[in-house]
Amino acid sequence: MICNVREKGNKKLSGVIDRKEEKMSFVTSDKMLADAQRGRYAVGAFNVENMEMVKAVIAAAEEAQAPAMLQTTPSTVRYGSLETFVAMVRAEADKTEIPVCLHLDHGDSFELAIQAIKAGYTSVMIDGSKLPFAENAALTRRVVDVACAVGIPVEAELGRVGGKEDDLKAHADQNTDPDQARQFEELTGVSSLAVAIGTAHGFYVGEPVLDKDRVAEIAAKVKAPLVLHGASGLSESDVRECVSKGMCKVNFATELRVAYTGAVKKLLAEAPKTYDPKKLGLAAMEAVKEQVIARMKMCGCVGKAFV
């Protein structure tokens, strides 16, 4: 049975995590992904590295009237700290009515996932995909037991997405088996599930070969919303087809970094005497904002903030 994150108050785990109630715009991923699943579109999930990217994603969401998921990976957390990103995202969410979620992407340990929840993250991922099936399920269940007690949804990954995401490497794709996905959901009660269909983290060296029909096969066997990792560099038609077949959340990371640094490089090339970090940040924010809006259109979530 899928964990219903609206049912809180597990007495056995009460007191393990003390969280403050958030305002309505700073929300979990539960409703936005359920709405996407029902409406046959996807929520764009965007990896952020600093204040400028946080502001850019939320500004894009406001302009597009779209729900927004902001994500940080373990290496980004080490760079800025869980508490720093919670403070930045909460501060920007307080300025808008758009639903905003802060998600731990590719959480690599039980301890980090729980620390993120304690710090104020409103969604977490535990990535045990490098482990054997039983160990992945056991680790995921352990996180779910704690997270669900305080109303926080949990994403997990089954199968292996190729490429590189921060410190996580997969040298070969291992696409998700639909029957295993159903079993994994039953064992873990996971809220959403990242599945492998031939995508890769980072930019693609060659033309990706995606098993899009597998998305529909998995969606027919599990209740949890499905997540597409490795979307940077995919064509618009690829993303739209994956969404039409059941993907409810689509992750974008590498291309946002490229947009950010590209804007800074362009400004410095045009005005090499620029030394004010604010001017660099403004240029970067505008580039990231444009990229995010384009990806929200691709996912079909524009205008879906208040469905």
Catalytic residues: 105
**Are 44 and 296 spatial neighbours (Cβ–Cβ below 8 Å)?**
yes
127 annotated as ligand-binding? yes
Torsion of Cα atoms, 172 then 175 then 179 then 183, to 10°? 60
171 annotated as ligand-binding? no
229 annotated as ligand-binding? yes
The DSSP bridge partners found for residue 226 are: 193, 247
3-state SS, one letter per residue, for 237-272? HHHHHHHHCCEEEEEECHHHHHHHHHHHHHHHHHCC
119 annotated as ligand-binding? no
Give the DSSP letter of residue 174: B
Which amino acid, residue 170? A
251 annotated as ligand-binding? yes
3 state DSSP class of 278:
helix
Torsion of Cα atoms, 230 then 268 then 75 then 248, to 10°? -30
Of the candidates 188, 178, 191, 177, the residue with the CA atom closest to the CA atom of residue 221: 178
145 annotated as ligand-binding? no
231 annotated as ligand-binding? yes
254 annotated as ligand-binding? yes
202 annotated as ligand-binding? yes
Exposed / middle / buried, residue 128 (Cβ in 10 Å: 0-12, 13-18, 19+) = buried
3 state DSSP class of 44:
strand
252 annotated as ligand-binding? yes
Element (H, E) at 52: helix 51-64
Task: Quickly list H helices, 65-166.
Answer: 74-80, 82-93, 110-119, 133-149
Residues placed in the known binding site for Zn(2+): 106, 127, 157, 201, 229
Residues placed in the known binding site: 106, 127, 157, 201-202, 229-232, 251-254
Residues placed in the known binding site for dihydroxyacetone phosphate: 202, 230-232, 251-254
